[in-house]
Amino acid sequence: MEGRYDIQKILEILPHRYPFILVDRVLELIPGEKVVALKNVTINEPFFQGHFPMAPVMPGVLILEAMGQAGGILLAKSIPAERRGALIYFMGMDKVKFRKVVVPGDQLVMEVRLQRLRQRVVRMAGTAAVDRKIVAEAEMLASLGEGA
């Protein structure tokens, strides 16, 4: 296990930046196997201005994006060093389910497991939970961009 990463280490791995970085901390990382990551959901998130002003709810697509970013960290640490640094792109999502809403004050904990890693394509399965209750789940396909 590689252990915990703070936001500075995450910013070294992911190309995302404010307002689109959706992982605040890595709680556990086992290269080639799984990552557990945390997103602190606060009322200051820019998407809450419009989704929805009177009843703020984190958009489901951003929950999936947070899971994807956690998966990107896992993938970056699971591929050979000479392939690191390539952009990772979503290719598809299957079996997506949203079970509960995510609101300001929640801590979103994403667990993403590597299912299959090929030359340029990866399959991962993830869950997002608040207070140990699953709020979303999905299978994700991603590809490694050129340059890797």
3-class DSSP assignment, residue 60: helix
Annotated active-site residue in 4, 9, 51, 100? 51
3-class DSSP assignment, residue 117: strand
Nearest alpha-carbon partner for 136 in 103, 101, 105: 101
Catalytic annotation present for 51: yes
Greatest distance between any 2 Cα atoms in the chain: 48
How far apart are the C-alpha atoms of 128 and 39, rounded to whole Å? Answer: 10
Number of neighbours of residue 108 by Cβ within 10 angstroms: 24
Amino acid at site 141: L
Contacts of 101 (CB under 8 A, 6+ apart): 57, 58, 135
Catalytic residues: 51
